[in-house]
C-alpha cells in the first residue's frame, strides 16, 4: 500500500457515483499528485479488480469504467450524456434456459441497459430528439 494507491482508491470512493474511466481517475489523481503515471493507475486498478474490491465494466467505446460497488447490480448507460447509474435488481429474476445453465458454469453476470436519462430527455436529446 503506497501513497499512489491510496490516492487512487480515494478518488474512486469520492467519485462513487461516477463510474470513472482509467483516464478520468488519472486526471483526478493528478491534481494532488502531478507525478502520477497512467501506468500506475492501470496497475492499481487491475490489482483492485483482482482483489474483488472493484468491478471493471466494458460499457462500450470511451474506455473501461470502474465501479466500487461490487454488489450484483445492473447499469443504466445514458446514450445522451454518457452518465452511468447503478440499478438494483433482483438477480434471481434473470433466468436462463435450463439446458444452457446445466452446461455452463456461470462465474459472473452483467446487465447493461442503454437509453436516455430524464435530463437528456428534457433537453430533447432523447430517442425522439435530434440524434
Site residues for its own copies per CB under 8 A: 58-60, 74, 76, 78-79, 85, 87-90, 93-97, 100, 103-118, 121, 126-127
43 or 69, CB closer to DNA?
43
10 or 70, CB closer to its own copies?
70
**Contacting residue, 18, 38, 68, 76, with DNA by CB under 7 A:** 38
Cell digits of residue 38: 497512467
Pick from its own copies, DNA, none: which does 42 bind, CB < 5 to 8 A by kind? DNA
Pick from its own copies, DNA, none: which does 52 bind, CB < 5 to 8 A by kind? none
Q: Are strands 74-78 and 65-67 parallel, antiparallel or unpaired?
A: unpaired
**Contacting residue, 10, 37, 122, 123, with DNA by CB under 7 A:** 37
Which of 67, 61, 72, 70 lies closest to 114, judged by CA?
Answer: 61
Pick from DNA, its own copies, none: which does 21 bind, CB < 5 to 8 A by kind? DNA
**Contacting residue, 15, 18, 33, 121, with DNA by CB under 7 A:** 33
CA dihedral 61, 63, 67, 72 (to 10 degrees): 40
Note whether 84 and 64 are within 8 A (CB).
Answer: no
Binding-residue pattern over the window 43 to 62 for DNA, x denoting contact by CB under 7 A: xx-x--------------xx
Residues 6+ apart with CB under 8 A from 15: 24, 25, 28
Phi, then psi, of 98 in degrees rounded to 5: -55, -35
Amino acid at each position: 500500500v503506497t501513497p499512489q494507491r491510496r490516492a487512487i482508491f480515494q478518488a474512486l470512493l469520492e467519485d462513487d457515483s461516477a463510474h470513472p474511466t482509467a483516464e478520468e481517475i488519472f486526471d483526478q489523481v493528478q491534481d494532488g499528485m502531478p507525478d502520477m503515471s497512467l501506468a500506475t493507475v492501470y496497475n492499481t486498478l487491475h490489482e483492485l479488480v483482482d482483489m474483488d474490491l472493484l468491478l471493471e465494466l466494458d460499457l462500450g467505446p470511451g474506455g473501461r469504467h470502474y465501479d466500487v460497488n461490487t454488489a450484483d447490480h445492473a447499469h443504466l448507460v445514458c446514450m445522451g450524456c454518457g452518465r452511468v447509474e447503478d440499478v438494483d435488481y433482483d438477480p434471481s429474476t434473470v433466468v436462463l434456459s435450463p439446458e444452457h445453465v446445466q452446461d455452463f458454469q456461470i462465474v459472473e453476470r452483467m446487465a447493461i441497459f442503454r437509453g436516455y436519462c430524464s435530463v437528456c430527455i428534457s433537453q430533447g436529446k432523447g430517442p425522439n430528439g435530434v440524434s
